[in-house]
Structure 1
Amino acid sequence: MLRAGADLRQIVAIWMKPTIPPLGIAADRTSGEFFFATGDFSVQRRLFSLWGRTYRWAGSSLAIALTLAGAAFAERPSAPKLLPTHTLAFARITDAPLLRERFKETALGRIAGDEDVKPLVSSTYAAIQEAWNTLEDRISVPLDDLIVLPQGEIAVGFVSARDQPTGVVMLMDVKERLPTAIKLLEDGETFVKQEGGDVETVKIAGVEATLVTGPDGGKIVYFEKEGTLVFTTSEALSEQVLDLWDGSEIKSLAENDQFNSIMSRCAGSSDDPPQFTFFVDPIEIVRATARGNFAVQTAVALFPVLGVDGVKGVGGSLTFSTGEFDQVAHYHILIEEPRAGIVKVLAFGAGDTTPEPWVPAESSAYTTLHWNVQESYSVAAELYNSIMEEGEFQREVKVRLSDRIGVDVEKEIVPALDGRISIANWIQKPATINGQCIMVGLKLKDANSFLDVHNKIVEKFADRLEKKTMAGVTYHVIPGPAPQQPPAEGDTPRPRITRQPTPCFAIVGDYLLICDSVEALEASLLATTDPARGLADQPDFKLIASKVKRQNGGNAPGMLQFSRPEESMRMLYDLATGDAVKSRIDRGLENENPFFKRVDGIMKENPIPPFSSISKYLAPGGGMATSDETGLHYSAFTLKRQLD
């Protein structure tokens, strides 16, 4: 993000370095509503600023024509049909205005538009706009106009080919907002020239384009066609895009089998396609960037041995405010069959996903998965030994783990694990930044037999453990550092903004339970005394579990997830309104810190609304992972809260 008063060299350096703009969130100052914008404004400004002088002479007349006539732009091929088939990474927003509208309907968008929250959002946005206005001598376009500049599809692709350098292609529909883009590009042209860069007009496939060469020799080519701005890092890439646009027989990304296979698994509902999609071919990206780098090429040569080349692609999609869901996400790892090497370590199983009795009812999140631990361990050992030497993996495990904890990991721990792993999150109060406590449960094949292993570990570290008992269960704690010296008489103790983790462990039922908080572990032990204290009997979990079962593969997922966004938001709310944050703001004011002065002003003018104004929009969510002949698939969703 460019800061006010940034050095011109920094600005040009950012402009001339090819960058994929991230997805960001902005807010409408008057309505107080959040909506999506295309990421870092410095990146947007850099991209738009490289338009060049080609359109300077036509800018005024084109602006008038578009404004008065509302010109209709021709339907162009979609981004996957305009990018070459050897596109190795791809991200796409199908329709930016639609995405902004859909985001307003999500929980976060509705919270920002709530009458109690809107004043705070508006004040925050006003502060952002105030900072933006300090750049008005360099950027002639107001922030409000910049945010709504994208008027259709936005896509970015990382392209590689053997006969040319790797490069980046970006497409953005601006349609009737083209005059605004021209202003930005003219601003950028001025900056680039002042820094010693060069701007010239070139002809590519019959289309006038602009070639910008930065002071360091970096190049960007851009042109406009049918209301779409196209930016590339070479003339050859621009020519390929234009050839595909005109119906060339060159294969496009839309004809890439790996891309299509992943997108078909992440397509979502046929009548409501995703607003955001992405695709990555990680192995080919490494190979492409390894050219001329001996160290990386050596690593690439090991890919077949490791089985890494079996991963053919990764992709996913996001859909907002669709039907009963606040948002839906799909992610897919495309894996070649038969699986070999490291890919075999991803040994998902299937089984019961009901929360164990030790999972507290008030858990903020819960994940359970089935994993073939023994197979994964054997595959890892085989791979490591094939690279190093026979038995080296076993020696490393012995030295680094077994000898340190006093038990044989390979013979006593790995065979004892049943394969089910569950993780529960529990929020400890008072609220702190790291208030989310983690409980990890490893299911044991025979808890009584494992007790001997447990006791060996306890004996090994007897001088460093504290023994405690609760609900009939004995557990051990690793004490934290000694408490700090108490404040002097008359001094007020400073509220803590972080908590001190207290690692602890116990055998609970047929699980080895490991936790980073004694309070969380004790909540788990209490849950075992009464089913009503457990997560399994909670209505919201049952609702999410029923939704998961309706999904393809939901009857026997390899992994199931449950989340309560309301509880996570409550932690942040309590933190923001708590004494710890107030104390730090007060100290910042004492030091005359301008940031804290601004925050304090916003908070006083617009007090944080009651939590009920936020929580009423938040509903639980869930997810699941499955393994099939195409690879691993993960889908997640959050329900939409229906208000009266």
Structure 2
Amino acid sequence: MRFSAVFRAWSGALALAGVLAFQASAFQMSIARAADDDEVVLAEDRLPPGVLLYVTSPDVVAAYEQFQKTSASALINDPSLEKFRAQLLERYAEFQKEAEDKLKLPLADLFALFSGEISMAVVRPVGQPLGWVAFMDIGEHEETLDALLLKAEEAFDGEKIAKETETIAETEVVTCTVTTSDAEDAQPVTVAYFVKDGMFVFGSDAEVLESVLTRWDGEHEETFAANEIYQEIVAKCVTNEDSEPSLIWYVDPVGLVASGLSMAPQTQNFAGMIYMPTLGLTGLKAFGGVQELATEQFDHVSRMLIYIDGPPTGVVKVFELRPSEVTAPTWVPADAGQYFALDWNIKGAYESIEAIYDSFLGPGKFAMATANLTKQAGVDLKLKADVIDVLSGKVQGYYSASAAAPEDFTGVISVGVTDPAKGQKLVDTVFQLAGGAKSADFEGTKIYEPANDTGKGVAAVKGNAIMISSTGETLKLALAARPANPLAATPEYKSVAKVIPKEVCLFSYQNAAGQFADVYEKARSGEFDGLVEGKLDFSVLPPFEEIRKYFGPNGAYYIPDESGAIGVQFSPKRTK
């Protein structure tokens, strides 16, 4: 039994159990809202500038309510899963009793703490070291929080805990310093926290919390919310101005890496990131996005903006994709688990790599190094003329899981070429390096496979593309391009394709049902029973066809934007 199949099956069961457990107690969650209509002050309004990483769920209760409208929730509550749900809830009841015995608190009280916003940020305020801070809206449940904090202190029985209390901005701030070892080089762990206006805020130290408290009313001129890049990311990633995202995230990758390097003596010399301009990373300002559930058009959708200041250069240029029209070709069968297509600027990537290499070692060194590699390999091949200039950058393909062995995949990849004859030379050279090849004619096209009869890895040149597959039979089907039911004709593919713009840099389609069905049926047949030690009976699950309707197709695409690139991942709303 392969690990991947086992992992998918068991992780799926655990995920379902977790959601069911949450639903079992969700009715006890506090969903009270403030009686007044005052605008809520969010963490982004209270954070100082210098935020390097930010993740927030602005309202976990609202997000849960939106989740209830998704296909995943409908699946969990489907009548055909009643027997399996009963098992999971029985296991949850056992866990609940054990947890409550240890905590001396009802788990319902813990769920009640999730009353609104949950946020976390890594921040480096001006003149301060790198720190972190988290926000949790606990509503009117401060007594429950106090009990949990007391339990947390008791958990460090035998350890040294020093507590200090100070008043900052008329708020009591508690700093706990925990020493976990008597070793001279042991570093104590410090956590500071306060509770104010129903919000539990904790972080790396009191200085970070002070930067939050000075902005508590949300009226401060210098806040993370005023970050123009963050504002643009959110504005371009929400569906509309009335959207209520379940999740928002933001990363300043360059700042995060630089700050991390500055913390360790061994890497402080690199903190200045003197090579950043050479690598073209100074233009990568940030990336972030938004997730929404149960929108008018989608079951769920996530959008991301990669914010690049100026044209891409250096390492960023290596990954540049060009917009083009995409349609699944007729050789992609209806049962394809995934189809993808992209148009890579391979010439630009080569030039960027060459420029970076030569900037460190001197002009012409990259060309010399590549020439030496082909010479040592004993092939008549020039990397620039015979590979880079021959490949067009257009790549598309599909894969399908084997019904007998879901961990084994078959599929075809098409690699575009600018000249079929030069593409053929490239194929010949690759097989020469692999020990030679033998060929066979198929409808006027030569199919090449390794001379060692492994049966794995076959290729052919047809039109302006090199077609590659794991088996000859799969490649023949693609070359014939006559499947009984091509992917592009299926309603699942059409539901995804109609959403994407006319031109995209990258497109991906996934058939969630096809990818999960085989593993699901293996679980029903008892193949994974040993993993749960008899605590769950997967045989009570209904046949997959009864729940297939909940596993809709997924799509993803990237498009260029004036500030970089926007990526979208989505699942169309299920038709009832």
- Asked whether 1:257 is paired with 2:190, we answer no
1:562 aligned to which of 486, 500, 509: 509
- The one-letter code sitting in structure 2 at the alignment partner of 1:410 is K
- Report what 1:546 is aligned to: 498
- Contact persistence 1:197–1:212 (CA under 8 A): yes
Identity value in percent: 24
For residues 418-461 of structure 1, the C-alpha deviation after alignment (integer angstroms, 9 at most, x for no partner) is: 221113122222142x2444533211122234223322333443
- Asked whether 1:361 is paired with 2:314, we answer no
2:70 aligned to which of 85, 91, 106: 106
- Contact persistence 1:76–1:226 (CA under 8 A): no
1:505 aligned to which of 459, 465, 474: 459
- Report what 2:11 is aligned to: none
For residues 518-544 of structure 1, the C-alpha deviation after alignment (integer angstroms, 9 at most, x for no partner) is: 564454345x135x5432333332332
- Report what 1:574 is aligned to: 521
- Report what 2:19 is aligned to: 27
Alignment of 1:215-234 (within 5 A): 215-216=179-180, 217-234=188-205
- Contact persistence 1:358–1:508 (CA under 8 A): no
After superposing the two structures, state which structure 1 stretch, 370-379 or 302-311, moved more. Answer: 370-379
- Report what 1:492 is aligned to: none
Q: Distance in 1 between matches of 2:374 and 2:268?
A: 30
Count of matched residue positions in the alignment of Structure 1 and Structure 2: 550
Alignment of 1:290-309 (within 5 A): 290-291=261-262, 292-293=264-265, 295=267, 297-298=269-270, 300-309=273-282
CA 1:366/1:109 → structure 2, altered by over 3 Å: closer, same or farther?
A: same
CA 1:596/1:348 → structure 2, altered by over 3 Å: closer, same or farther?
A: closer
2:217 aligned to which of 246, 259, 270: 246
- Asked whether 1:206 is paired with 2:170, we answer yes
Q: Distance in 2 between matches of 1:479 and 1:611?
A: 42
Q: Distance in 2 between matches of 1:333 and 1:304?
A: 18
2:300 aligned to which of 327, 339, 342: 327
Alignment of 1:398-477 (within 5 A): 398=371, 403-404=376-377, 406=379, 407-432=381-406, 434-437=407-410, 439-463=412-436, 465=437, 467=439, 473-477=445-449
Q: Distance in 2 between matches of 1:636 and 1:199?
A: 46
- Report what 1:282 is aligned to: 253
2:143 aligned to which of 176, 179, 197: 179
Q: Give the match's secondary structure for 2:536.
A: helix
- The one-letter code sitting in structure 2 at the alignment partner of 1:529 is R
For residues 297-324 of structure 1, the C-alpha deviation after alignment (integer angstroms, 9 at most, x for no partner) is: 4371100111111100010111011113
Q: Distance in 2 between matches of 1:350 and 1:224?
A: 50
Q: Give the match's secondary structure for 1:108.
A: helix
CA-CA distance at 1:503 after TM superposition? 3.3
Alignment of 1:389-404 (within 5 A): 389-398=362-371, 403-404=376-377
Q: Give the match's secondary structure for 1:339.
A: coil
- Contact persistence 2:165–2:172 (CA under 8 A): yes
Q: Give the match's secondary structure for 1:245.
A: coil
CA-CA distance at 1:32 after TM superposition? 6.5
After superposing the two structures, state which structure 1 stretch, 117-126 or 359-368, moved more. Answer: 117-126
CA 1:29/1:159 → structure 2, altered by over 3 Å: closer, same or farther?
A: closer
CA-CA distance at 1:186 after TM superposition? 1.8
CA 1:146/1:25 → structure 2, altered by over 3 Å: closer, same or farther?
A: farther
1:620 aligned to which of 553, 559, 567: 553
- Asked whether 1:640 is paired with 2:570, we answer no
Consecutive unaligned residues of structure 2, counting only runs of 5 or more, are: 1-14, 181-187
Q: Give the match's secondary structure for 1:362.
A: coil
TM-score normalised by structure 1 residue count? 0.78
Q: Give the match's secondary structure for 1:290.
A: helix
- The one-letter code sitting in structure 1 at the alignment partner of 2:505 is G
Q: Distance in 2 between matches of 1:479 and 1:155?
A: 58
- Report what 1:63 is aligned to: none
- Contact persistence 2:450–2:456 (CA under 8 A): yes
TM-score normalised by structure 2 residue count? 0.86
- Report what 2:543 is aligned to: 610
What is the root-mean-square deviation in Å for CA atoms of aligned residues? 3.2
Q: Give the match's secondary structure for 1:361.
A: coil
After superposing the two structures, state which structure 1 stretch, 227-236 or 406-415, moved more. Answer: 406-415
2:478 aligned to which of 521, 524, 527: 524
- Contact persistence 1:90–1:279 (CA under 8 A): yes
CA-CA distance at 1:376 after TM superposition? 1.4
Q: Distance in 2 between matches of 1:546 and 1:33?
A: 39
Q: Distance in 1 between matches of 2:34 and 2:100?
A: 29
CA-CA distance at 1:29 after TM superposition? 4.4
For residues 187-234 of structure 1, the C-alpha deviation after alignment (integer angstroms, 9 at most, x for no partner) is: 112223542222343222211122111114211111111111111111
- Report what 2:242 is aligned to: 271
- Contact persistence 2:414–2:468 (CA under 8 A): yes
